[in-house]
Amino acid sequence: MSLYRDDGIVLRTHKLGEADRIVTVLTRRTGKIRGVAKGVRRTMSRFGARLEPFTHVDLQLHTGRTLDVITQAETIRPYGEALVTDYPRYTAGSAMLETADRLTLGEKEPALRQFLLLVGGLRTLGSGEHEPRLVLDAYFLRSLAVAGYAPALESCARCKAPAVRAFAIVAGGVVCGGCRPAGAAVPAGETLALMVALLKGDWLTADASDGRHRAECSGLVAAYLQWHLEHGIRSLRHVER
């Protein structure tokens, strides 16, 4: 029996049999893992509450034939406690977890940068320092960048010209007049500036942005993310815009 330890964020869970649960965790060293937590749905479970989504946990597991088995779980930080009573923050956090799950496709493939980004996003979301949708959009943009899909925002995605006229998802970001494909969006300059600020972590600029530019930014970022994932983020339908 091969034992190992790692810490990670619980992304999702689902039932297995009458008392067990399969827990999907994005871990610091191992990457995304799925482990069986035996008996955690029983009232007297020793660590069932520690294996809920949003929780940062320290785990001990042993390698199984198909799924690893969780033998110990200790809470490091329960990020969910700050989110479950606040609908905007809870739904934004749910979209973060789902996105992290989608962007880390392979199991047991190290994804340290995605893990650290998720921890930082949940911590910022729980602190209440910034508007939840801004935090979510910043997370989306940065997680895409880590995955190699950062949108071009300051020069044309196709020819690198500095004069940009539109935002085209299929082109990879902003485009100049000569490279603009049919159907490209034409966002306000302030919207593009907000996207740049969120990607770079310029919260002074982001927090000072206007509501209409935030809404336009959110629409573009969500569309860009889902196009690259080739899959909708179900949690987004509940996020307050």
**pLDDT higher than 80, residue 41:** no
DSSP E strands: which ranges in the chain?
A: 3-16, 20-27, 32-37, 55-62, 68-78, 166-168, 173-175
What is the distance between the alpha carbons of residues 199 and 171, in angstroms, rounded to a whole number?
18
Task: Give the residue extent of every domain in the chain.
Answer: 3-79, 83-240
Residues 6+ apart with CB under 8 A from 168: 157, 174, 175, 180, 181, 183, 184, 185
Structure tokens at 143: 């997680």
Structure tokens at 116: 């650290």
**pLDDT confidence of residue 64:** 85
Model confidence over 134-154: pLDDT tens digits?
999 999 999 999 999 999 999
**pLDDT higher than 90, residue 186:** yes
**pLDDT confidence of residue 224:** 96
Domains 3-79 and 83-240 belong to one CATH topology: no
**pLDDT confidence of residue 165:** 85
Q: What is the mean pLDDT of residues 66-88?
A: 94
Q: What is the mean pLDDT of residues 52-71?
A: 93
| From the candidate CATH numbers 1.20.1440.120, 3.40.190.10, 3.30.830.10, 1.10.10.10, the one assigned to the domain spanning 83-240 | 1.20.1440.120
Mean per-residue pLDDT of the chain: 93
How many Cβ atoms from other residues are within 10 Å of residue 196's Cβ? Answer: 16
Nearest to 183 by CA among 172, 164, 173, 168: 168
Instruction: Determine what percent of the chain is predicted with pLDDT higher than 90.
Output: 83
Highest CATH level, class, for 3-79: mainly beta
Model confidence over 188-231: pLDDT tens digits?
999 999 999 999 999 999 999 999 999 999 999 999 999 999 88
How many Cβ atoms from other residues are within 10 Å of residue 93's Cβ? Answer: 29
Structure tokens at 83: 């989110």
Instruction: Determine what percent of the chain is predicted with pLDDT higher than 70.
Output: 97
Strand 166-168 vs strand 32-37: parallel, antiparallel, or unpaired? unpaired
**pLDDT confidence of residue 32:** 97
**pLDDT confidence of residue 45:** 65
Structure tokens at 82: 């700050």
pTM of the model: 0.94
Strand 55-62 vs strand 68-78: parallel, antiparallel, or unpaired? antiparallel
